[in-house]
Amino acid sequence: MTDLKEGVCLSAFWYSHEQCCWTSNQTTFADRDKCPQWQKWAELMTGHAEGAGAYVLNYFLYILWALLFSFLAVSLVRVFAPYACGSGIPEIKTILSGFIIRGYLGKWTLLIKTVTLVLAVSSGLSLGKEGPLVHVACCCGNLFCSLFSKYSKNEGKRREVLSAAAAAGVSVAFGAPIGGVLFSLEEVSYYFPLKTLWRSFFAALVAAFTLRSINPFGNSRLVLFYVEYHTPWYMAELVPFILLGVFGGLWGTLFIRANIAWCRRRKTTQLGKYPVLEVIIVTGITALLAYPNPYTRRSTSELISELFNDCGALESSQLCDYYNNPNMSRPVDDIPDRPAGPGVYNAMWQLTLALIFKIVITIFTFGMKIPSGLFIPSMAVGAIAGRIVGIAVEQMAYHHHDWIIFKNWCRPGADCVTPGLYAMVGAAACLGGVTRMTVSLVVIMFELTGGLEYIVPLMAAAVTSKWVADAFGKEGIYESHIQLNGYPYLDIRDEFTHRTLATDVMRPRRNDPLLAVLTQDSTTVEDVETLIKDTDYNGFPVVVSRESERLIGFVQRRDLTLAIKNARQKQDGVVSSSVVYFTEDAPQLPASNPQPLKLRRILNLSPFTVTDHTPMETVVDIFRKLGLRQCLVTRSGRLLGIITKKDVLRHMAQMMNQDPESIMFN
Amino acid sequence: MTDLKEGVCLSAFWYSHEQCCWTSNQTTFADRDKCPQWQKWAELMTGHAEGAGAYVLNYFLYILWALLFSFLAVSLVRVFAPYACGSGIPEIKTILSGFIIRGYLGKWTLLIKTVTLVLAVSSGLSLGKEGPLVHVACCCGNLFCSLFSKYSKNEGKRREVLSAAAAAGVSVAFGAPIGGVLFSLEEVSYYFPLKTLWRSFFAALVAAFTLRSINPFGNSRLVLFYVEYHTPWYMAELVPFILLGVFGGLWGTLFIRANIAWCRRRKTTQLGKYPVLEVIIVTGITALLAYPNPYTRRSTSELISELFNDCGALESSQLCDYYNNPNMSRPVDDIPDRPAGPGVYNAMWQLTLALIFKIVITIFTFGMKIPSGLFIPSMAVGAIAGRIVGIAVEQMAYHHHDWIIFKNWCRPGADCVTPGLYAMVGAAACLGGVTRMTVSLVVIMFELTGGLEYIVPLMAAAVTSKWVADAFGKEGIYESHIQLNGYPYLDIRDEFTHRTLATDVMRPRRNDPLLAVLTQDSTTVEDVETLIKDTDYNGFPVVVSRESERLIGFVQRRDLTLAIKNARQKQDGVVSSSVVYFTEDAPQLPASNPQPLKLRRILNLSPFTVTDHTPMETVVDIFRKLGLRQCLVTRSGRLLGIITKKDVLRHMAQMMNQDPESIMFN
């Protein structure tokens, strides 16, 4: 569908340009357009392949197709599944931390996201398919869960399945099974026990295996951008690699800030009311600006693939237009360093324009109401920057072999600088700057490219990029979007270092009404019903008596409502004045008293407690590690108050000088 | 030193055989012995390189060198650092779970383990260097910690450093940085937050970078056993790969059971009293049996390297003795399948004998009082088995192209089966069977070999091997040794599913004396001193009064002793009858009363509590996740008892029908 924007294959309209030309021998980049089976729209409609008229017609139809695809995508999302938009990773992170968003992982989301993702990617917008594929995989995982009561009834088990599904999603998106497992561990999951590691690994194995059986890239490889470099890297090259890391970190910061500012504007102004129009306008601008530049016109994965490639002697891309040494006596693969030809200089200009274009347009694209991933655009930005740096270093080394920095490792006639490797390192740096991944990033990069020899350069770039980006703000793009949307996400990475105590956070505060509690043997059914009606708490602590306030247990609002309703209907003698007993044995009452209601079975006898002097640092740690929803606060065995997850999140927001009311709750 | 057992390099005695012959052109396996600089001992001493006499002399000197090396190793360990023996991984796991073994990570252990590891590996015993290198790295990490008070004073921070050190250790041992991080995560560490992941990653990066700068393998590669295969794998090959997985699982089970049985015998009988003799005898037997077989005579890493290798046309090893097609018109690397020559059949016999020898001798070697790792021997067993299976499949495919299983993918003249790949898969399977690693195993394997294309076969073998081995017993070799030694290790992987409650585990039990508590305002200094003298508890709960028993806090024995000692020395008027106050304000007492002692500042006001009805499943979870040492048990705010980590471990052992008294405590 991406290629359909430019032309059509006469032998079968569903073939891509590359598939269409497989039978032809001219499949290198430069000769692509000469494959006779493939016709551009102008050629097909008017018979003229060349000339200004044909160019304008092609240009016009390119924009038209792009608009059609994106209009279809945004309309389907609007009408059928509003949750199908975006990358989905911030929401999945939130869901895995214990929040429930109903329908987010439902079958409609699955169906619509799958279809609209294809449309969105084909429309040529600056977005990728990786994040949405993780969302799609999690939808599948969730649907499978609902088939087995063991998983559908236990939220914890369901989350373990979702963690594994996320791993499988990345495994399929990139053909990177190990990277998928690590991505799930490092980026998506909240609680990741070893058992889940092992299961995610199995899920990713099966995903990779299935992918290989289907063989979508037609080369029996799992690897998406397979590269083969012929030279090792040299110590001195670490300097440009680290510079690329710095660029990645700076770009990551810039992107996150600008994108969040734009998304906030969308959220708070009139802009947010016209999502369809917004998508149409951005698609129009993207197509209008992308078409004239050959590096932005093609699909982003093709671009990345070309940028990663080493210039062998047979490569005919514009980027490989070097002046070759005429007396070529070496084997084909061993290329000495060469001066760049006009094609390379031309490509440098076009790449610079493409870089600026991609940097700007991605800011406005990510967050629109269509499925949109961030991996491919980030990698494209990094790969373009990296290739430019790589060619610059290469030409510098060629023209200045005598410079002290090149002297030791780059003798004349040696093939010492591989610009494709710089592109790879740049891609890793930018992806790292945006997402703040480390180990998973490096593993994904070398699973993507097969470049196992280049772990150290990749690691160096990833580390630098993370450091630089972290210096400007701890949050990656996903955490920033979580915060923007106000999801109640307790980030496991933030260290809570303030010296507040549980007593400062618990409710009731000093001027609040008393804590709503039940007593173990002196509350009547009517009291309970009034309490349920007057408050909207999820549960109530049960104490011995109002005087001693010693804590007995905790009862859920849901259970209490149900138990009273059942008792009223089925149990004779239970009336409004019946006393509710939470003790082990209800005392023998005179017959004149109404029948008591025994509710010990719905009482949670082991509620979580902390003392009022517990530092909030410890409380936050407990909430995170044990996944609590609330925790009771006591002093010397007396109940003082309650801290809910909401209170903890609000307190943390307050401590970070943010508006505590911006956090959303289910 | 390994090569010194066989001969010496005339140009420089510290050169290995390979280094010695680098200048010579005959460096392939078959021509190794013809390098003129390298002389076997018999040749050097008698001038005769051939003949029965020379063979016997070489044989004798080989054994003598082996005995010398191992004697030195075991003596150094015995005399200077008893903790330097073994692999160290079980102990490091235990230390990372919160147990303290003094001196285990000290400078003597570091020094002696480094020296004796070299000796032990050179002696030709069936052991590897990987586990001990993790221990050595952790010693370094621990020594660095002691330089910074931030780390030396905080056990938690120190453990994070040790986790990162373990990653760096594996990174150096294998040249596998990512594998190292995952090994630390999956196998060694107990609590591994994302922050540690990221730091381990950095440590592993620096380790890999340093390793590459030193370039120990002389090939600018990080990779230890670099292989390059020329054919992809085929679906049908998954059957033998899975069979290798089954073999790995079975061997793992057999090895663990036999090794543990032998170690138990060593622990419980007279055998354990003669560790030096034991090492000497095992070394003697190993050398005696290893010398005649060329596959056991050489060092195990060389053996693995040869087994992993693909038989190119230029390879001259015995394993590559195929009948080549005389009219060879293809390029060098594209080898059609060929019938095996006599060398291959000969090698098959020798490999079978080597397999049996390695399987048996490793059982007796692992656990002796010298540094001994398990990775290399396990991989050797798997690689031998894998290569045998690989050659069998290859010859079957050559001779029976018409069989239905080969028909689809293995046409005559095609190079369809790579026996080296089978060796790699077999090695992964055996390593997986022994250690039960999954993700880290696969990553280490492909970092070791550079075989990124073979993730799916490796994963399939690892998964099968884990399943088969788990069917016979959940514990890997490290957990088994932890249990054998009775370390108090709360395995994070075991699920506690019994339905006991906190009340069943807490002390005091029904017939025990009352819980030793302090009251907040009615205990005298003398009472406290008596309590400290009479008991050996690590701390005491403080309650409001003996009647109400409402919990105020918890005070450490250490702090209490110190505070009273200080007060007695420095504070006037504090005598035995002084009352100890834990309340906020001590009441104004008449002047006749002795000066009170205020100790609120040493009182932990937020001790961890659970109610007596809390299921032990939850309690175990809390102990694990929060790394507690003790937890107080209350009912309705009243203190009932205490549960220590010791109690939890004893209870778990009891529930698993093990002797609870076998667990050791510091």
Examine the pLDDT at A248 and tell me if it is beyond 90: yes
Length of chain A: 666
| Residues A69-84 as b or e (16 or more Cβ within 10 Å = b) | bbbbbbbbbbeebebb
Q: What's the CATH code, domain A502-662?
A: 3.10.580.20
Position with higher pLDDT, B15 vs B501: B501
Bridge partners, residue A188, by sequence = none
Examine the pLDDT at A33 and tell me if it is beyond 60: no
Examine the pLDDT at B119 and tell me if it is beyond 50: yes
Copy the structure tokens of residue B11.
């140009």
Question: Quick one: pLDDT at residue B160?
Answer: 87
Chain B residues closer than 8 Å to A551 by CB = 636-637
Helices A107-122 and A130-145 pack at an angle, to 10 degrees, of: 160
With bands split at pLDDT 50, 70 and 90, how would you rate the model's confidence at B666? very low
With an 8 Å Cβ cutoff, are B605 and A622 in contact?
A: no
With bands split at pLDDT 50, 70 and 90, how would you rate the model's confidence at A349? very high
Q: Percent of chain B having pLDDT more than 90?
A: 29
Among B205, B446, B613, select the one facing A456 at the smallest CB separation: B205
For residue A622, give the chain B residue with the closest CA: B626
Query: Which of A97, A233, A416, A456 has the most B C-beta neighbours within 10 Å, making it the best mutation to test the interface with B?
Result: A456
Of B357, B442, B359, B350, which is closest to residue B391 (Cα–Cα)? B350
Q: Which amino acid is present at B305?
A: S
**Cβ B585 vs Cβ B465: under 8 Å:** no
DSSP assigned state of A393: H
Average pLDDT for residues A639-654, to the nearest whole number? 87
Chain A residues closer than 8 Å to B456 by CB = 177, 205, 208-209, 212, 222
Q: Percent of chain B having pLDDT more than 70?
A: 91
For residue B439, give the chain A residue with the closest CA: A201
Question: Quick one: pLDDT at residue B427?
Answer: 95
3-class DSSP state of B524: strand
Helices A107-122 and A52-80 pack at an angle, to 10 degrees, of: 170
Q: What's the CATH code, domain B235-325+335-485?
A: 1.10.3080.10
**Cβ A90 vs Cβ A485: under 8 Å:** yes
Q: Which of A633-647, B223-237, B610-624 has the lowest mean pLDDT?
A: B223-237
Position with higher pLDDT, B73 vs A301: B73
| Residues A259-283 as b or e (16 or more Cβ within 10 Å = b) | bbebbeebeeeeeeeebbebbbebb
Chain A nearest-CA distance from B297, in A, is 32
With bands split at pLDDT 50, 70 and 90, how would you rate the model's confidence at A223? low
**Cβ B1 vs Cβ B15: under 8 Å:** no
Reported as a single tens digit per residue, the pLDDT across B242-271 is 999 999 999 999 999 999 999 999 888 888
With an 8 Å Cβ cutoff, are A221 and B459 in contact?
A: no
With an 8 Å Cβ cutoff, are A614 and B606 in contact?
A: yes
Max mean pLDDT among A41-55, A646-660, B551-565 falls in B551-565
**How much of chain A is in helix, strand and coil states, percent to nearest 5?**
55, 10, 35
With bands split at pLDDT 50, 70 and 90, how would you rate the model's confidence at A330? very low
- In Å, how far are A191, A617, B8, B164 from B38, measured between CA atoms? 58, 66, 6, 42
Q: Where are the domains of chain B?
A: 3-214, 235-325+335-485, 502-662
Examine the pLDDT at B92 and tell me if it is beyond 60: yes
Query: Which of B455, B601, B619 has the most A C-beta neighbours within 10 Å, making it the best mutation to test the interface with A?
Result: B455
Examine the pLDDT at A321 and tell me if it is beyond 60: yes
Copy the structure tokens of residue B580.
């100890």
With an 8 Å Cβ cutoff, are B455 and A222 in contact?
A: yes
Specify the CATH superfamily of domain A235-275+293-485: Clc chloride channel (1.10.3080.10)
Average pLDDT for residues B351-358, to the nearest whole number? 95
CA atoms lying within 13 Å on the CB side of residue B73: 33
With an 8 Å Cβ cutoff, are B456 and A178 in contact?
A: no
With bands split at pLDDT 50, 70 and 90, how would you rate the model's confidence at B191? confident
Average pLDDT for residues B292-306, to the nearest whole number? 88
Q: Rounded to an integer, what distance in angstroms lies between the CA atom of residue B383 and that of residue B226? A: 15
Copy the structure tokens of residue A407.
């002297």
Look at the block and give the residue holding tokens 């001779």: B399
Question: Quick one: pLDDT at residue B167?
Answer: 92
Position with higher pLDDT, B230 vs A42: A42
Among A443, A453, A622, select the one facing B221 at the smallest CB separation: A453
Chain A nearest-CA distance from B231, in A, is 11
How many Cβ atoms are within 10 Å of B50's Cβ, its own excluded? 9
Examine the pLDDT at B389 and tell me if it is beyond 80: yes
Reported as a single tens digit per residue, the pLDDT across A360-370 is 999 999 989 99
- In Å, how far are A299, A602, B348 from A128, measured between CA atoms? 10, 49, 52
Average pLDDT for residues A195-215, to the nearest whole number? 82
Helices B616-626 and A616-626 pack at an angle, to 10 degrees, of: 120
With an 8 Å Cβ cutoff, are A638 and B636 in contact?
A: no
**Cβ B468 vs Cβ B247: under 8 Å:** no
For residue B233, give the chain A residue with the closest CA: A220
Strands B603-604 and B609-611: unpaired
Q: Give CA B54 to chain center in angstroms.
A: 41
Same fold, B235-325+335-485 and B502-662: no
Chain B nearest-CA distance from A311, in A, is 22
3-class DSSP state of A68: helix
How many Cβ atoms are within 10 Å of A313's Cβ, its own excluded? 14
Q: Rounded to an integer, what distance in angstroms lies between the CA atom of residue B232 and that of residue B407? A: 17
Among B198, B492, B621, select the one facing A194 at the smallest CB separation: B492
Reported as a single tens digit per residue, the pLDDT across A376-427 is 999 999 999 999 999 998 888 888 877 777 777 776 666 778 888 999 999 9
Its ipTM equals 0.76
With an 8 Å Cβ cutoff, are A636 and B552 in contact?
A: yes
Q: Give CA B560 to chain center in angstroms.
A: 39
Q: Which of A78-82, A605-609, B22-26, B371-375 has the lowest mean pLDDT?
A: B22-26
Copy the structure tokens of residue B531.
């309590």
Q: Which of A135-144, A175-184, A237-246 has the lowest mean pLDDT?
A: A175-184
For residue B207, give the chain A residue with the closest CA: A456
Average pLDDT for residues B473-496, to the nearest whole number? 82
Among B177, B456, B615, select the one facing A205 at the smallest CB separation: B456
Average pLDDT for residues B1-22, to the nearest whole number? 80
Q: Which of A381-390, A418-427, B160-169, B214-223 has the lowest mean pLDDT?
A: B214-223
With bands split at pLDDT 50, 70 and 90, how would you rate the model's confidence at A53? confident
Q: Rounded to an integer, what distance in angstroms lies between the CA atom of residue A663 and that of residue A483? A: 8
Copy the structure tokens of residue A243.
């510079």
Chain B nearest-CA distance from A310, in A, is 19
Q: Which of B49-53, B63-67, B364-368 has the lowest mean pLDDT?
A: B49-53
Q: Which of A32-36, A441-445, A501-505 has the lowest mean pLDDT?
A: A32-36
Question: Quick one: pLDDT at residue A23?
Answer: 60
Reported as a single tens digit per residue, the pLDDT across B96-111 is 888 888 889 999 999 9
Q: Which amino acid is present at A82?
A: P
Q: Which of A218-222, B114-118, B586-590 has the lowest mean pLDDT?
A: A218-222
What is the DSSP annotation of B84-153? GSB--HHHHHHHHTT---TTTTSHHHHHHHHHHHHHHHHTT-S-BSHHHHHHHHHHHHHHHHTT-HHHHS
Question: Quick one: pLDDT at residue B288?
Answer: 93
Question: Quick one: pLDDT at residue A254?
Answer: 95
Q: Rounded to an integer, what distance in angstroms lies between the CA atom of residue A628 and that of residue A300? A: 43
Length of chain B: 666
**Cβ B278 vs Cβ B456: under 8 Å:** no
Average pLDDT for residues A61-71, to the nearest whole number? 93
Examine the pLDDT at A666 and tell me if it is beyond 50: no
Question: Quick one: pLDDT at residue B87?
Answer: 87
Of B589, B198, B116, B325, which is closest to residue A185 (Cα–Cα)? B198
Please give the mean pLDDT across all residues of chain B: 84
Please give the mean pLDDT across all residues of chain A: 84
Question: Quick one: pLDDT at residue B314?
Answer: 58
Chain B nearest-CA distance from A150, in A, is 16
Q: Rounded to an integer, what distance in angstroms lies between the CA atom of residue A286 and that of residue A429? A: 25
- In Å, how far are A93, B41, B55 from B9, measured between CA atoms? 61, 10, 18
Q: Which of A197-206, A285-294, A347-356 has the lowest mean pLDDT?
A: A197-206
Of B465, B623, B462, B185, which is closest to residue A193 (Cα–Cα)? B185
| H or E stretch at B500 | none
Size of interface A-B (CB pairs under 8 A): 157
Q: Rounded to an integer, what distance in angstroms lies between the CA atom of residue A577 and that of residue A574? A: 8
Q: Rounded to an integer, what distance in angstroms lies between the CA atom of residue B297 and that of residue B29? A: 14
Reported as a single tens digit per residue, the pLDDT across A255-307 is 999 999 999 998 888 888 899 999 999 999 999 999 999 899 888 888 998 89
Sheet with B638-644, strands from edge to edge, namely B609-611, B630-635, B638-644
With bands split at pLDDT 50, 70 and 90, how would you rate the model's confidence at A134? very high
- In Å, how far are A172, A550, B601 from A636, measured between CA atoms? 55, 9, 17
Examine the pLDDT at B658 and tell me if it is beyond 50: yes
Question: Quick one: pLDDT at residue A385?
Answer: 96
Chain A nearest-CA distance from B53, in A, is 48
Reported as a single tens digit per residue, the pLDDT across B525-553 is 888 889 888 888 888 999 988 888 888 89
Q: Which amino acid is present at B362?
A: T
CA atoms lying within 13 Å on the CB side of residue B609: 37
Question: Quick one: pLDDT at residue B114?
Answer: 93
Look at the block and give the residue holding tokens 């002691």: B146
User: Which of the four CATH numbers 1.10.3080.10, 3.40.1390.30, 1.10.3720.10, 3.40.47.10 does domain B3-214 have?
Assistant: 1.10.3080.10
Examine the pLDDT at B400 and tell me if it is beyond 60: yes
Burial class (CB in 10 A: 0-12, 13-18, 19+), B107: middle
Query: Which of B93, B97, B170, B178 has the most A C-beta neighbours within 10 Å, making it the best mutation to test the interface with A?
Result: B178
For residue A442, give the chain B residue with the closest CA: B178
Chain A nearest-CA distance from B97, in A, is 15
Position with higher pLDDT, A612 vs A659: A612
Phi-psi region of B413 (alpha: psi -120 to 50; beta: other; left: phi over 0): left
Chain B nearest-CA distance from A109, in A, is 31
